[in-house]
């Protein structure tokens, strides 16, 4: 139930056409590190392009097994022919992740791999742009 205080905090009421609600299926993560893969599965299933065997094959081909960065997801979407544009504040690895426990153990090898993906993006037809005002998100 929406109260007066809630309504005031939420701003003006939404009008038809102010939003689009899509019937995107919910697919849960399998592990603590695969939120991006779960989201990718949801998008692909919504688009009618998810074949579990083909998805697993793509993960193996792209070597997406335990450490997934947003650039990996851009390559995955490209692999399935999903038109998209990856907007990021940093073209390459954000060195700020080095101190985070999740990344610390493999940061040096991941930094090289991820930076190579950024460097090869244009050749691989993965559209990556440095954009302003992109909120920093936890990448896995």
Instruction: Give residue limits of the domains in the chain.
Output: 34-130
Tens of pLDDT, residues 78-129: 999 999 999 998 899 988 888 887 777 788 888 999 999 999 999 999 999 9
Distances (CA, A) of 112 to 11, 47, 94: 45, 32, 12
- Is residue 137 pLDDT above 70, yes or no? no
Mean pLDDT of 28-34: 88
pLDDT at 135: 55
Q: Is 128 helix (H, G, I), strand (E, B) or coil?
A: strand
Angle, helix 35-46 to helix 52-61, in steps of 10 degrees = 140
Handedness of CA 44, 45, 48, 54 (dihedral sign): positive
Rounded CA-CA distance 83/126 in Å is 9
- Is residue 4 pLDDT above 70, yes or no? no
Span of 6-10, 23-27, 99-103 with lowest mean pLDDT? 6-10
Rounded CA-CA distance 31/80 in Å is 23
Report the mean per-residue pLDDT for the chain: 84
Nearest residue to 103 (alpha-carbon basis) of 138, 136, 72: 138
């Amino acid at each position: 139930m929406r109260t007066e205080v809630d309504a005031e905090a939420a701003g003006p009421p939404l009008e038809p056409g102010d939003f689009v609600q899509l019937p995107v299926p919910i697919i849960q993560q399998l592990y603590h590190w695969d939120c991006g893969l779960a989201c990718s599965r949801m998008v692909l299933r919504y688009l009618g392009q998810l074949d579990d065997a083909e998805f697993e094959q793509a993960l193996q081909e792209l070597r997406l097994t335990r450490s997934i960065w947003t650039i990996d997801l851009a390559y995955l979407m490209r692999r399935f022919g999903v038109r998209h544009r990856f907007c990021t504040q940093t073209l390459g690895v954000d060195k700020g992740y080095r101190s985070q426990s999740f990344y610390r153990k493999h940061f040096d090898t991941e930094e090289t791999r991820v930076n190579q993906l950024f460097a090869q993006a244009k050749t691989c037809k993965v559209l990556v742009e440095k954009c302003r005002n992109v909120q920093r998100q936890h990448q896995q």
